Structure 1
């Protein structure tokens, strides 16, 4: 097909069969997992060309370049960041040499986030999308295929960056974890409309879902009248069969599914993970000589409507409301390291009776194993009517566990949480344990607030909205307080409702925190932890991250021991509280070594002083 028409014009009146999975074929040809498949365009171009040729012989007439992860971010992991342009240009040449003139060679660009939780501003990806697209277009690609984007926001950015570079067609494909909705919470109806507005010529779905779920997605989506559609489903779901992971869908099933996708008005039909030349051949034979079918949208009146969750009523007054009116006290009391909860619960009751507004429970602090704060929080609430505030560490749970844990907290009526990064496992009492860190504290704050919108981490709508108050930690003990405040501002931007600081041991630091953060419009709870001995003071100052003592504090603890040392620690804490209460209404008392009697006395002191001392 010499001088073949523009791809967009061609698919207005024709179906076109796309190719299948490149990585699946390369793996079957002996390329191991853990290497850059894109780099093969330079080191083994004949192998890549053989895969393209196999798909062309099977009937594919839209061939995607082997450049899915040929962006700077991905190639940097292999030390190949300087070869972005070379790999992308070579990939177009290899694909072109593998096929006849009747095939379209489309430049493939994958998501840079690539399924991870977003950890930086999307604007930082602009240059990478432009760099890769420019190389593909200059090498002679017939258009750009953006694929496997879980988040609409990233895909829109890519389209907006690439659109000014070319008049050739841009295909924009989302990968959804749930039928009909993106990970960042958009319906496909909303997503396709926004992609068209951003400049996409063809929109569609690929990866993650098999044919049946892709078809269901189109059945429940209202697409813009003048948009063209594409679909590249996986070969079903990945499963374990005879000791090996494999995809289940057969070529015959794929052929039947291609006919159903055609009925949905899809014009470009190919395959993603697990598909082979046999799948593509079966589709091509099934679709041969068939014209495209005009797209008929479901009626908006009958389109399945999902009501994003109703708001769950907050079951207790919360600290953010309280601190706007009066001095409010959070007391940290660590869960026990053994199986006996009775003493801990007794201490919680004493703290409540002394006037604590909430008792906060760490999440295996310092990476040392303690009783589940979720279980203890539930006992506090159900048996004694006490208000728990639970720490959530990024360290111990993957994304599945984090959301499950939060859903359980919601069911228990525990709505106040503090997000912390968590100390690395190797420094705790089980140094062989793994640290997960699927997300940063910024990510987890943002995702909890997404639950408050009635949307799960995967983008699935929930029947009820959560009602979490999310706290963030602030460490003022750094060389550059401005950098720490900038980090704090990012947490506020992510959705933090209040701040809890690391313990402070001198009046000057309290004043410094006030001056550096007074522009932040959410409550700050200033951390005060009484010292118990000179050894304790030295340990905190020299060994515990995020804690720094003044020279005066160390000197005062140096000449006292035993009960006298604890009394000196309480007196020093009271002096700091006098200063802290003049600047902050939020007080965060940290119980040392489970000596809750010390924080009981300090709680009572705050309650007494609150009647006498004004706040700035």
Structure 2
């Protein structure tokens, strides 16, 4: 134990005085060597330890003085994707042993860092970071027990997660004095993904106990250098940098990086001039990159950091949900607080002609619809862009559109781009939905994206309302979205569905729209179960068109249930008579609905807008002059 503590002290001393050369990528290097990594790079510590050992030795021979254990994603959460969570401790301890064996085999004077990676791993945060506490502790204990010289927390896109990891490992290393290196990864050169200025992040990391702060992954040398040139780094803390080999290209279906070894060495000199004292490589880097770094800055002493004179001011970024404030603009949220408000869903056409749609929208508007909501390829069937249709009816008819935004079809890039386009067109009322999977639609071979859940997308919309891009980059102005969320009451356990709805409201939903309801009992159950929510709720009502339609909805469409009594009633009619009966059934339901809710959401079936025109007129008729009092 005394020998280990002495080695840690030597490592600390050298981090404070010398420039140390780190290693490069593990997974991409193994792949380039023709080694089939399989499901988990970290599992190789048990299945093919010789591959991992040879990778370490390759970097040590190239000049690396600090190598990282092959344990980046060896946490219980990451390993559970491959059914390996029960081997978390074994994999981490094996990773340390293999690294030690490589140091001994190469007879190098090198140190071993225990690598702990982000649990979210660049994905959108879908849980509270506090839930990661035990996961970080389990991995850190295993690495420390096997005797690492230090810990490196790397590739954290969200500062809040990195601070939690530091809070967990800090007490574990206090007695051994093992140094901790804390590295952020950036989507923007000045901010973390959760919106903190890099300068602020570095200060918070130092206060939390980091011995070195730095950057790794995502960016190549140029952008990491640019980020450090702009940042204010606190005194008495070291700096590390592990850039990627640059931007990857896809060649013959595989990722490929430029063999920019000389450039990497030249960049290392510029990083050293910024006060960086631990320099290595991340994705795409190879032993040749590390050899170039070693040849350029190996043997140099650490330079004192000189912060920029006009660097960004350190700030505290506080995230809060930005909700629509009444009176700021004409919206259904504003209206429903004052009177009965009717939203009518009218799906965009599956053809190229729009005349029928414009005609129907105008008829609905004249009947008294306060807004027309347009689905986003409902049931995964291809339809005309709801952005285009919304723009047309807003520009040509003066009708307020509510555009559905599904999680299914767009990745993170496409979602933000789509929202920015809606903002530019002045369409600020949206409904965020998950979206039906592509395989149920008319193009079953289409990809289903789902980069985001509906909870995530609501939070991201609210982030745009703060003037912060999905990447964490500050924008020059703020969006003005009023964001709705969907609610399916047709479940076995209504309390569980309400709990899910509460999470949507917590994420920032401004109003709720339900799946269609077909009986008073269900409507009253919804009222009772949601009465504690502080956002308005629009009850969905959709007329049946035929017996076949009723049976299809009841038996085949998720989220819809129709009583046996209603199905028997519509069964007596056919054609236009069945549609007329469907309207009459809805009128009876609406007579009760308007007594309890100000928000009415009429859904047009099969583009029979004449049916919802009649129902809209009926709502206006029975609620005229404010004669009905709302319980909302």
Residue of structure 1 in register with 2:357 after alignment: 344
Q: CA deviation at 1:481?
A: 0.5
In the alignment, is the contact (CA less than 8 A) between 1:229 and 1:266 conserved in 2? Answer: yes
Check if 1:433 corresponds to 2:410.
no
| Gap regions ≥5 residues in structure 1 | none
Whole-Å Cα distance in 1 between the matches of residues 324 and 199 of structure 2?
27
Helix, strand or coil at the partner of 1:176: coil
Helix, strand or coil at the partner of 2:277: strand
Helix, strand or coil at the partner of 1:145: strand
Residue of structure 1 in register with 2:91 after alignment: 87
In the alignment, is the contact (CA less than 8 A) between 2:154 and 2:183 conserved in 1? Answer: yes
Check if 1:382 corresponds to 2:395.
yes
Q: CA RMSD in A?
A: 2.3
Helix, strand or coil at the partner of 2:138: helix
Change (3 A) 1:289 1:424: closer
- Within a 5 Å distance, the mapping from 1:230-241 to structure 2 comes to 230-240=240-250
Residue of structure 2 in register with 1:485 after alignment: 498
Change (3 A) 1:249 1:185: farther
Helix, strand or coil at the partner of 1:464: coil
Check if 1:46 corresponds to 2:21.
no
1:402 to 415, 422, 429: 415
- Within a 5 Å distance, the mapping from 1:136-285 to structure 2 comes to 136-167=143-174, 168-240=178-250, 245-248=255-258, 250-285=260-295
Helix, strand or coil at the partner of 1:588: strand
Change (3 A) 1:395 1:33: farther
Q: CA deviation at 1:328?
A: 1.0
The normalised TM-score by structure 1 is 0.95
| Gap regions ≥5 residues in structure 2 | none
The normalised TM-score by structure 2 is 0.93
Q: State the Cα deviation string for residues 1-49 of structure 1 (Å, max 9, x = none).
A: 9933253343122221111111222112222254322111112222211
Aligned residues: 614
Q: State the Cα deviation string for residues 233-288 of structure 1 (Å, max 9, x = none).
A: 11121124688642226222112111111111112111111212222122122223
In the alignment, is the contact (CA less than 8 A) between 1:312 and 1:466 conserved in 2? Answer: no
- Within a 5 Å distance, the mapping from 1:54-93 to structure 2 comes to 54-93=58-97
Q: State the Cα deviation string for residues 379-426 of structure 1 (Å, max 9, x = none).
A: 111111111111111111121211111111111111111111111111
Residue of structure 1 in register with 2:487 after alignment: 474
Residue of structure 2 in register with 1:603 after alignment: 616
Whole-Å Cα distance in 2 between the matches of residues 66 and 212 of structure 1?
26
Helix, strand or coil at the partner of 1:484: helix
Q: CA deviation at 1:77?
A: 2.4
Q: CA deviation at 1:333?
A: 0.5
2:129 to 107, 122, 126: 122
Change (3 A) 1:33 1:93: closer
Whole-Å Cα distance in 1 between the matches of residues 128 and 86 of structure 2?
23
In the alignment, is the contact (CA less than 8 A) between 2:431 and 2:484 conserved in 1? Answer: yes
Whole-Å Cα distance in 2 between the matches of residues 429 and 19 of structure 1?
50
Further displaced range: 69-78 or 269-278: 69-78
Further displaced range: 24-33 or 88-97: 24-33
Change (3 A) 1:593 1:33: same
Whole-Å Cα distance in 1 between the matches of residues 499 and 379 of structure 2?
25
In the alignment, is the contact (CA less than 8 A) between 2:230 and 2:311 conserved in 1? Answer: no
In the alignment, is the contact (CA less than 8 A) between 1:390 and 1:417 conserved in 2? Answer: yes
Whole-Å Cα distance in 1 between the matches of residues 60 and 199 of structure 2?
33
In the alignment, is the contact (CA less than 8 A) between 2:21 and 2:298 conserved in 1? Answer: no
In the alignment, is the contact (CA less than 8 A) between 1:75 and 1:81 conserved in 2? Answer: yes
Change (3 A) 1:75 1:104: same
Q: CA deviation at 1:454?
A: 1.3
Change (3 A) 1:547 1:324: same
